Amino acid sequence: MKITDKIIEKHGLKPEEFEKIKKLLKREPNFLELGIFSAMWNEHCSYKSSRIHLKKLPTKGKQVIQGPGENAGVIDIGDDDAIVFKIESHNHPSFIEPYQGAATGVGGILRDVFTMGARPIALLNSIHFGAPSHKKTKNLLNGVVSGIGGYGNCIGIPTVAGETKFDETYNENILVNAMAVGHAKKDKIFYSKAKGVNKSVVYVGSKTGRDGIHGASMASAEFDENSEEKKPTVQVGDPFTEKLLMEACLELMKDNSIISIQDMGAAGLTSSSVEMASKGELGIELELDKVPCREKNMTPYEMMLSESQERMLIILEDGKEKEAKKIFDKWDLDFVVIGKTTNTNNLTLKYNDKIEGEIPIEALASKAPVYDRKWVKKDVQKNKIDLKNLKKIKIEDALIKILSSPNHSHKDWVTNQYDQSVMCDTIQKSGSDAAIIRIHNKDKAIAVSVDSSANYCKSHPITGGKQIVCENWRNLITVGAKPLAITNCLNFGNPENKEIMGEFAECLEGIKEACDFLDYPVVSGNVSFYNGTNKKSINPTPVIGGVGLIKRLSKPLNHVFKKDKSILVVIGKTFGHLEQSCFLKENYSIKEGMPPEVNLLNEKNNGECLLRLINKKLILSSHDISSGGLIVALSEMSLKSEYGAKIHKLKKFTNLFEYFFGEDQARYVIEIDAKNYPYVEKILKENNIFFENIGLTQKEYIEIEGELKISNKDLFKINNQWYNNY
């Protein structure tokens, strides 16, 4: 087949990239080779627009066993235990085919974890939809939630935490980010780096079909009005087969058979073989007529680019093939030796004993394009919003408006579709600041949380990047966990747009600054560009997934009020920042202004001091103060409790809206038994922590003297009404 300009364009390659391919090959590629370059050089696989910025992130620490560059990150949690985790996007497939897009997103991230030798113990997600009134939103929401629940529930991994958000910026490009967490032993971590020559390359798992061809390329381009035509590029998942594959791989990992192992994810057989060979500085030869296919007359092109699910590529030690095959036969899975490692440093593709393609590995990997794209700093709005000009409302009405909004209404309709307790190690599930999962048969646990804040990142990307790391840090602190490391999923628009590239670069700068200061390294992640339709991009939405350690698990800590007449304390200073706040958005439809300042020193000091108080068992409940401010935090602490709060009259704040709805950072509200208050006060003062005694818990009502009195039963009804009526 003659390679035309139209064919090159259809493969997502620029004319200058095609010229580079010809120079690397010293000839023109054939159709198969062109497809392989398209798969490996797209944004999703090569990170060609983000690589230079990602290198700036802190990725090392005493707790880090494996940072970015492998299937997932690995951290040390002591006692020879390790936690393996990663978050990835499946945005484009989920918009086109919501159920399968979300389901295969879950399946893919699970394979990333158990490929490393870890048994998955938890799933999380961050899902963003358009305005609830938009014609597509309801169907997309139903499909995605069903897909996440359907896959996770069938395979038997609990979905323990997440976030569901709505904003018109996602009307034509939803976000579906899936995170998986697994447990492994430190001495049984498996990697993808190939070693040795003439080693068997083995295909295991499901058969290869025509689903998902060009899936990675599709995820590296913006949508247009013809996006529905891309349905054939969406993979189809089978969780029951994935369960078999997981058990077979984990069984094989018990001995010393495996040299390297790689999930067939984006770009399928192409990316898995190239990545293994590239890391090992070896070549790899594949006999494609041996690839198990479920459809007739599949071509080498289709085999190499298929993204059929539930497949792995394994390189085995000599003589281990027979015993390994027995394991996969037992689990009723394909096991076929389809090639070998070589010393040629080439990807050699044979079909019926004829060489159909031969490409230097380095041309596909290390010599793939890397772009230092032009970008501009965000033009920041500096005009302060004059609150005096706003229509006056009551605190109660403002609170009701927020708690009944789509983004603050309860999410039980979503989370009830997920099995949160399977495996019996979920100690605290969704609805808290962070979920808690026990390490099986041990008295220690991990806490996990995912967070995002697109409005902050849009208004001031550096501050927004810092803020979202800090919010994730706080969410782990509030349940008594020491934050250890993060994974990130960076969702942005078209990187060829210098304004959007500027948002990406500055968000990364903020993330880096916060991670450096908090000793909170990035160990894995994913970049998703081209999120938009017809040149209208989403708001910048970096998602942070954090893991923390609870060394001794006794009674888990959550944010629910525990008893009557406890003392309520706010840690951290309140300045009353309302710009970019939920209060202004929900009550006045105002989205302008700067996000609240992030003081990293205060974040670190306040968080570490609170963690000491929790470890001393001086805290009954705790909650970070974020979206909606103090009054929303207090309401959330009351919603699932028989107790409310009575807040003292505050004389120094003339504007109570600023005090109660301000979204100043580095703040927590904590509940303290009256008998323990002197000890807490002493420790806070000794550590120079700013705090305020704001009132007491009481039966049934949230009350601000002279301003507000509402029962927690009414709050519960208000908080439930949106989802119940949608």
- Residue 345 CA to residue 108 CA, distance in Å, equals 28
- Please state whether beta strands 346-351 and 283-287 pair in parallel, antiparallel, or not at all (unpaired): parallel
Helix (H, G, I), strand (E, B) or coil at 500: helix
- Please state whether beta strands 643-647 and 701-704 pair in parallel, antiparallel, or not at all (unpaired): parallel
Tell me which DSSP letter residue 346 carries.
Answer: E
CA distances from 31 to 4, 16, 209, 358 (A): 10, 18, 19, 12
Active-site residue, 90 included: yes
- Residue 513 CA to residue 429 CA, distance in Å, equals 30
- Residue 463 CA to residue 597 CA, distance in Å, equals 7
Question: What tokens does 546 get?
Answer: 């954090």
Active-site residue, 44 included: yes
Length of the chain (residues): 726
Question: What tokens does 375 get?
Answer: 């970008």
Residue tagged active-site, from 90, 214, 410, 623: 90
Buried/exposed code over 221-260 (b: 16+ C-beta within 10 A; e: otherwise): bbbeeebeebeebbbbbbbebbbbbbbbbbebbeeebbbb
Beta carbons within 8 Å of 47's beta carbon, 6+ residues apart: 54, 527
Residue tagged active-site, from 44, 128, 214, 623: 44
- Residue 567 CA to residue 672 CA, distance in Å, equals 5
624, 667 Cβ separation under 8 angstroms:
yes
Phi, psi values for residue 632, rounded to 5°: -70, -40
How deeply is 460 buried, as exposed, middle or buried, from its count of CB atoms within 10 A (0-12, 13-18, 19+)? buried
- Catalytic positions, written as ranges: 44, 90
